[in-house]
Amino acid sequence: MPIYEAISSTNPIRVMIVDDSAVIRGLTTRILNEDDEVEVVASVGNGKLAVSNLARYDVDVVVLDIEMPVMDGLTALPELLKIDPTVKVVISSTLTARNANISIQALEAGASDYIPKPTSTADIHSGGGFRRELMDKVKALGQARRQKVKPAAKAEVKVGEPRVPVSIKKVDHSYTLRNAGISNPKILAVGSSTGGPQALLEFFKGLSPSINVPVVLTQHMPPTFTTILAQHLSKMTDWDCREGIDGEELKTGTIFLAPGEYHMVVAEKDGKKVIRLNQDPPENFCQPAVDPMMRSVVSNFGSNVLAVILTGMGADGQKGCEEVVNNGGTVIAQDEETSVVWGMPGAVAMAGTCSAVLPLKDMATHVMNFISKGR
């Protein structure tokens, strides 16, 4: 069941491209304009021009470069959000440690997602890779913005043509809660994607390592980005967060984060629970993916699993969470109002696997209370 209804070709998602490279602006514009449900309404070469254009046009999604003359992306971001707090910003950057660090800062400052710039012409022109990721993220974020913005507040984006607001029909997102599992959780498994870095920071700031269980985490991110994310979570919370290493034993007080391009699962070796990494095919178009992680914790911990699904596009984690509850474990999800995109948490909620669907600010307390009751 789709979380959002289909976009109308008569009311397409409106995008602004911001990049100092005319080549990148051109190819990004061509890719997006191939789909009738998306329209590039502005294409500019620096952050200052982006700010002035956003003040003129109604834009759903901004694809924002980091390194630009006049005004860079990190400087432009708060100015864009000041003009329109509802606009969704996708950071576009190359996969370097420096850019990954800046991108994580941008995500923590309010950007919604990120996309690695293409590294080859094959990636640009193939049906997958950069092309698919760009289109999927623009559509998901554009839909999410429209679900939260009153149509009457929108302005016309085409110069000289007054806009008649188009109603956006809300989709039925009803769900039924189930009873929580009664077993004592011995592992916390967390999945997240779009909007995840901000949500993870708030969640783990409120969650004490004194819960005394190991944490496994899959966040949809490319290599280098996961390294920087682990460093940021360790710096900004009381947790020791590290990328999982193949063969490393699970231990309490530690968050094991799936490295980019590797599925991370839990296995048993010599009577101990350890991390295993593999490069099996992507699941749900993701590598790392949440589903294989969830299946593995169920295989190794049975009913003693507490799963948390935070904001993210798509439905990765839904099938894995069904296995969690079918084996007696417990699932909670972030609510729609506080999610950047209610794809992953919405999928598990509407599948009937959740015992609670909560605002982000309440999730850490709920987890701590649930685990303490099982002691």
Residues identified as active-site? 193, 220, 316
Return the structure tokens found at 296: 């593995």
3-class secondary structure per residue, the chain:
CCCCCCCCCCCCEEEEEECCCHHHHHHHHHHHHCCCCEEEEEEECCHHHHHHHHHHCCCCEEEEECCCCCCCHHHHHHHHHHHCCCCEEEEEECCCHHHHHHHHHHHHCCCCEEEECCCCHHHHHCCCHHHHHHHHHHHHHHHHHHHHCCHHHCCCCCCCCCCCCCCCCCCCCCCCCCCCCCCCCCEEEEEECCCHHHHHHHHHHHCCHHHCCCEEEEECCCCCHHHHHHHHHHHHCCCEEEECCCCCECCCCEEEECCCCCEEEEEEECCEEEEEEECCCCECCECCCHHHHHHHHHHHHCCCEEEEECCECCCCCHHHHHHHHHCCCEEEEECCCCCCCECHHHHHHHCCCCCEEECHHHHHHHHHHHHHHCC
